[in-house]
Structure 1
Amino acid sequence: MSSLQASSTGDGTDVTTTSTTQAYLIDYQCVTSHGNETVSDAAKPAVISHYPGKATITPYKYDVNDPNTHESIVHVPVHNPPAMTKPAYLQNILVKFDSAYDAAVDSVNLYYDSKLLVSTNTGKKNGFHIDFSTNEAKNYAYQVPTGISVELDLRFPRPNSAITLYSVTLVYKAT
């Protein structure tokens, strides 16, 4: 599988999520899923404890001698896709989480239905965002009526490693 990379990643909060253009036009639209909507992957499961506005994710069966048990995959479905009258191009993916004992999000994968659209390696241990250039954004235009899901590949280097996921947000811009 080839990996499609974003042009840059960052840890700051410098992502445009609102528009001051004209009140009746939507230039930017955020679609967000709370961490408590997270579901475990069947092939690489995780233990997910759901709480209001967040989920705590830990390894399913941790075995010090089996590195396959140090990884899990979770899916975060986006229930409210963009609702724009113009084509909506993906500008940013924001992932808000905390980690304990060196747990990390190794990669972020964006699916429209079952089609892998974006796969970016991150290796991050706390919240981050992925930014796309204008040319890249055109490749990730939302096509109505596809479903959207964000997949997170997680790494748990210790038995007590954990990730607390608060939200995943996709920022779309109308063109």
Structure 2
Amino acid sequence: MKNFSMPETVSPFLEQEELERLSQSLEKNISREEAEAFLRRVPLRPGAAPEERARWVERLSEELETNFDQETIVKIRMGCHCNENGRLEETAETFKALYQSKGQDLARFVSHLNESGAGWSIKGGALYTRMFTCECPMLERAGTSPSLTWCYCTAGYSKAFFEAVFERPVEVELLQTIKQGHDCCLLKVTGIL
């Protein structure tokens, strides 16, 4: 997959943590019994090789798409986001301080970030953010797919991130991903202005 870069640190419990987040999100959005049955259909062994993880991601996405409507899929996967071993909170605090240093002016904040190559924009009252690399260790050996299902966790991550930065509820829509074969992931964030 192009534009893929392994994160600096990958938890030795990657598979277990992934399953725990999935289980919690399934229970929250459907039921405990349905979650347990679903997880039995898509097992993931600890210490899985990158190719095995990639196959699991595809199978999980297919199972979600077969068994749930789009709204439920989005809720389940958004609830599965990681925090990158605490980096979400650390990075959000840094961005929050930068936003505040720019007088909480979104245009000045975005302009400053774009000086470093962020590629963000503001259009029609929404913030559009781009990510130029995918650092999801579950996708290390994944091929491209037209499905957005797996990557809705990125929207969940971004929602948690931007709510911490802007100190208000926001909505995040995932528009495209690197996993789909695009050069970047593109997200639309609303509720900031």
With structure 1 as the length reference, what TM-score do the two structures score?
Answer: 0.35
Give the strand-richer structure, 1 or 2.
1
Q: Which structure: greater helix fraction? A: 2
Larger RCO (CA under 8 A, 6+ residues apart):
1
Structure 2 length as normaliser, TM-score?
0.32
Bigger radius of gyration? 2
